Amino acid sequence: MNILGLLQTFILGNRSPEWPNLRKEHIKKQPFCQACGSKNNLEVHHIEPVHLNPARELDPENLIILCGKNCHFIFGHLMDYYSWNTNVVEDSKVYLSKVQSRPYKIKKMSNNFISNFYRRLSWLIR
Ligand SMILES: [Zn+2]
Ligand SMILES: [Zn+2]
């Protein structure tokens, strides 16, 4: 292996040199976390782990975007990076639909808002 190859292995692990580009392309294609909808801190997760099937490292069908805040760890790896979730696609889909239709409590109006409202109202009917 030449110096460049060594450097590559050191920086990318055993990842293919095409990986950084493919990663970028995939984030463009799926620009949000497939489990929570977040657009921040996006990471590309391999559905079938590279160590199990190196041939699918660059297979776009084997990639899913998850955010690095929680979803990659929870949905991609079941809270252990030594493990992986064989149902990551289904689980992410179910969770995303829950997030998208989550209920909200009605926000309490602030006192400031109410007093402003009455001030304007009294100005109108003056
Ligand atoms: Zn997420
Ligand atoms: Zn992963």
Q: From ligand 1's centre to the CA of 62, what distance in Å?
A: 18
Give how far Cα 81 sits from Cα of 38, 44, 45, 77, 78, Å.
21, 14, 11, 5, 8
**Residue with more model confidence, 4 or 20:** 20
Residue 5 lies in a domain: no
Ligand nearest to the CA of 30: 1
Selection from 34, 37, 30, 64 nearest residue 48 by Cα: 64
Q: From ligand 1's centre to the CA of 29, what distance in Å?
A: 16
Residue 1 lies in a domain: no
Tokens in use for 107?
């926000």
Paired sense of beta strands 42-46 and 63-67, if any: antiparallel
Residue 90 lies in a domain: yes
**Residue with more model confidence, 121 or 8:** 121
Per residue in 73-122, pLDDT (tens digit) is 999 999 999 999 999 999 999 999 999 999 999 877 677 777 777 777 77
Residue 12 lies in a domain: no
Ligand nearest to the CA of 96: 1
Backbone angles phi, psi at 20, to 5 degrees: -55, -40
| Confidence check: pLDDT of 23 > 80 | yes
Q: From ligand 1's centre to the CA of 89, what distance in Å?
A: 13
Residue 10 lies in a domain: no
